[in-house]
Amino acid sequence: MKYLMASPVFMLFVLAPSLALMNPRDGHPQEGSVGSQSIRVDALGSMISIRDNNVLSEWDGILDYENGLLAAKLFSKMACVLTKMDKAVFPTLDDISKALDHQALKHYPSTWGLTYTVLPSRVKNLAQYGVPIKDMCRDVPTYFAQQQKEGTALAIDPDSCSEIQLLSFLGLSICGEIPGL
């Protein structure tokens, strides 16, 4: 009986430190949005998971800081888009954690205006980008997107864009026709 009791206690002490590094934040309503956003910060894994259930632009996302990747599953397009994060303009993992704790949001630079164009070729091997991205993008076509230089986004059809927003300081446009849809 002692051993049966010791096992859960041992697991509590082993798992507690890793769970403490996960910082789930639920229900971050965006200004003017129709829905809510759930954000989970996994400091140990250098990753942020987002679930935005805005009825006008529902999406899931992963910010993988270790590999410098952003993955977004766009439900309106039934596709995933994968791109490199520009570390010069993306808020750090620590910045987002502080913002979630409501510490001076105005100190973080806005990334509104970043535009990504979807490239035509599909990603063939999602496993190389890690289990979280592979699991999120499973069962939908996945494409790379390339960040557009400032001023070149004018030639893009605005009707082909999906807008995604994380808190008040990270807003991106993912534009272009997704092949096969």
Region 2-27: mean pLDDT is 38
pLDDT at 152: 57
Tens of pLDDT, residue by residue over 55-92, are 777 899 999 999 999 999 999 889 999 999 988 878 88
Which of these, 40, 176, 45, 59, lies nearest to 121 by C-alpha position? 176
Altogether, the residues listed in the chain come to a count of: 181
Share of the chain above pLDDT 90, in %: 32
Least trusted range by pLDDT, from 12-16, 54-58, 69-73, 95-99: 12-16
The answer to whether 54 touches 60, Cβ cutoff 8 Å, is: no
- 20: helix, strand or coil: helix
Structure tokens at 128: 């190389």
pLDDT at 98: 79
Tens of pLDDT, residue by residue over 112-139, are 568 889 998 899 999 999 999 999 999 9
- 121: helix, strand or coil: strand
The answer to whether 61 touches 50, Cβ cutoff 8 Å, is: yes
Q: What is the pTM of this model?
A: 0.73
- d(CA 46, CA 169) in angstroms, rounded, equals 19
Instruction: List Cβ neighbours of 143 (8 Å cut-off, separation of 6 or more).
Output: 79, 80, 81, 82, 118, 119, 120, 121, 122, 123, 178, 179
Structure tokens at 102: 């409501």
Structure tokens at 159: 């009707």
